[in-house]
Homo-oligomer: A and B are copies of this chain.
Amino acid sequence: MSSDDNPNRPQRPARRGFLKAGGAAVAAGASLGASGLTQAAEAKHRAPPAVDPMSAVEPFYAAHQGGIVTPQQAHTYVAAFDLTTTSRDDVIALLRQWTDMAARMTQGQSAASLDNGKDDAPAPDSGDVLGLGPAALTVTFGFGPGLFMSEGKDRYGLAHLRPAALVDLPRFNGDQLVAEKTGGDLYVQACANDAQVAFHAVRQLARQGYGKLHMRWGQAGFLSGPRNQTPRNLMGFKDGTNNPPTSDPKAMNEFVWATAADAPWMQGGTYTVVRRIRITIEHWDQMELGFQEQVFGRHKYSGAPIGQAKEFDTVDLTANDKDGNPLIPENSHVRLSNRASNNGAQILRRSYSYNDGTNFYIERWPPWRQETEYDAGLIFIAHQADPRTGFIPINEKLAKFDMMNQFTTHVGSAVFACPPGAKPGSYIGAQLFEA
């Protein structure tokens, strides 16, 4: 399984990235990647941040919702809710309130004016991000299958408007889904350059829904390092290199934005799949470097496809080694998920790592070990024009053949229709309720 016979194999980095001279600070835009070799390639693909991450502002009212093709912020908090109200008006009122509050918070304001607060009433905002700035907050809303039909009931008169693309996900090979990490009628995804700003947004919105909904699950996630390079996931590999470019409207129209063909109210929206994927880090860390690279189909330090030197070099699925075997293994993650292996399908991955401390586990077979393990992994988030040609066929293949499956377990899953953006004065989902 070694790829040492490859003359293009990049050198190992001798030390971590930032070069220093006498302790002087290096400007944020001048950071090196894992290897100096990849610096030029990264600089071409990633622009250095132009503003202080805490004072950056993302628009809320726009044709598309934020948080989909928005440059990925450093933190997220994602949550799903089950509606308990049976009133269509309640749902509309809630979405109106959520829209107003989300718009305020993305612009660096409290969820509602604190001037209206009284000492003898709960404050309209928890106050825990006062003084922090907008931190590029985006809030993205989505609708799960349960909004349209729940336990056989069309609670809100929306069943006939359910898009065909909003399918119930099939059971994939190896799925170990936990009910309380799976599903949901409403989706709220807050992304920001600060962990507390992201959580704060969901927390204020959740509170407004008391009596109308229950939280089903919530999950914090993070990316490491500055945003001008491809972040590495907890397996140590760069994650997101081969994403379709968000700067290319044509690619986004092809792969990410829904059209009116399926459901007119979804035009300009997207379908979002969320999977909580636990990684057995302890096991992965014991694997040989060469084997890890075979699993991914990429070199670990440079991020280059096996057989190439640089992260953004083209993935050549036809290249063979001197023995005639594929350089990028048949069951590698890169090959199986590559566009060329999936009839041209692509999805926009916008995932985060998660790190929820540790679990104590007891093995159910000899030698019946009892031990503490990391509860850490990936909050996989993928946006696409249609899951039936996006995530579902790609993951059907991965779930069966990907060598990575030894180290990953899907424990949570959900799919949502994220409608287009709202106009000022209107609300998220207006096109659905007014259809």
Asked, given contacts A15-B109, A132-B16, A224-B129, whether A356 binds B353 with beta carbons under 8 Å apart, the answer is no
Measured between beta carbons, the chain B residues less than 8 angstroms from A430 are none
Residue of B nearest to A33 (CB): B131
Question: With A372-B216, A372-B218 as given contacts, are A194 and B54 in contact (CB-CB < 8 Å)?
Answer: no
Tell me, yes or no, whether A220 is within 8 Å of chain B by CB. yes
Contact yes or no, A289 B358, CB < 8 A = no
Partner of A197, one of B14, B26, B132, B224: B224
Tell me if A25 counts as interface (CB < 8 A to partner B). yes
| A130-B301, A132-B225 as given contacts; A16 in contact with B54, CB under 8 Å | no
Complex: how many Å from CA A432 to CA B396?
Answer: 56
Q: Which B residues are in CB contact (< 8 Å) with A71?
A: none
A354 to B194, CA, bound (A): 13
A284-343 CB contacts (< 8 Å) to partner B: 284-290, 292-293, 300-301
Check B196–A353 contact: CB distance below 8 A.
yes
A34 contacts the other chain (CB 8 A) = yes
Question: How far, in whole Å, are A143 and B282 apart by their CA atoms in the complex?
Answer: 24
Partner of A18, one of B54, B77, B288: B54
A contact residues, range: 35 or more
Check A253 for interface membership: any CB of B closer than 8 A: no
Which residues 1-54 of A have a CB within 8 angstroms of B? 2-4, 12-18, 20, 23, 25-28, 31-34, 50-52, 54
Contacts of A25 in B (CB 8 A): 50-52, 55-56
Question: Which B residues touch A180, using CB under 8 A?
Answer: 358, 360, 372
- Say yes or no: A128-B197 contact (C-beta < 8 A), given A207-B282, A216-B372: no
Is A233 close to B, CB under 8 A?
yes
Contacts of A233 in B (CB 8 A): 128
A219 within 8 A of B: yes
- Whether the pair B374, A285 counts as a contact (CB closer than 8 A) is no
* Interfacial chain B residues near A214, Cβ < 8 Å: 371-372
Whether, in the assembled complex, A215 has its beta carbon less than 8 Å from a beta carbon of chain B, the answer is yes
Query: Would B122 and A286 count as touching, CB distance under 8 A?
Result: yes
Q: Is the CB of A17 within 8 A of B301?
A: no
Q: Does A235 contact B (CB under 8 A)?
A: yes
A245 within 8 A of B: no
Query: Interface on chain A toward B: helix, strand, loop, or mixed SS?
Result: loop
Q: Is A395 positioned at the interface, with any CB of B under 8 Å from its CB?
A: no
CB A87 to nearest CB in B, in angstroms, measures 20
Taken residue by residue from 178 to 207, chain A's Cβ proximity to chain B (1 for < 8 Å, 0 otherwise) reads as: 001000000000000011110100010001
Asked whether, in the complex, the Cβ of B129 is within 8 Å of the Cβ of A232, the reply is yes
B281 touches A18 (CB 8 A): no
Contacts of A235 in B (CB 8 A): 126, 128
Of the candidates B127, B195, B290, the one whose C-beta lies within 8 Å of that of A300 is B127
Which residue in chain B gives the minimum CB-CB distance to A286?
B122
Determine whether A118 belongs to the interface, using a CB cutoff of 8 Å to chain B.
yes
A122 to B289, Cβ gap below 8 A?
yes
Question: A384: CB under 8 A from chain B?
Answer: no
* CB of A222 within 8 Å of the partner chain: yes
A215–B308 CA distance with the chains assembled, in angstroms: 39
Bound-complex Cα distance A25 to B55 (A)? 6
Is the CB–CB distance between A122 and B31 below 8 Å? no
The digit string for A56-71, where 1 denotes a CB below 8 A from any CB of B, is 1100000000000000
7 closest cross-chain pairs (CB), A and B: A119-B290, A196-B224, A127-B236, A17-B131, A34-B130, A18-B133, A25-B51
> Can you list 27 residue pairs at the A/B interface with Cβ under 8 Å?
A2-B119, A14-B115, A15-B110, A16-B129, A18-B54, A18-B55, A18-B134, A28-B52, A34-B127, A34-B130, A120-B290, A122-B289, A126-B281, A127-B301, A130-B301, A131-B232, A196-B234, A203-B285, A203-B374, A207-B285, A214-B371, A214-B372, A215-B373, A218-B357, A218-B372, A218-B374, A220-B355
Known: A25-B52, A130-B301, A180-B372. 19 other contacts (CB 8 A): A2-B119, A3-B119, A14-B113, A15-B108, A16-B110, A18-B54, A27-B52, A34-B127, A119-B293, A122-B289, A126-B235, A127-B236, A127-B300, A196-B232, A203-B374, A217-B357, A217-B372, A218-B374, A354-B357
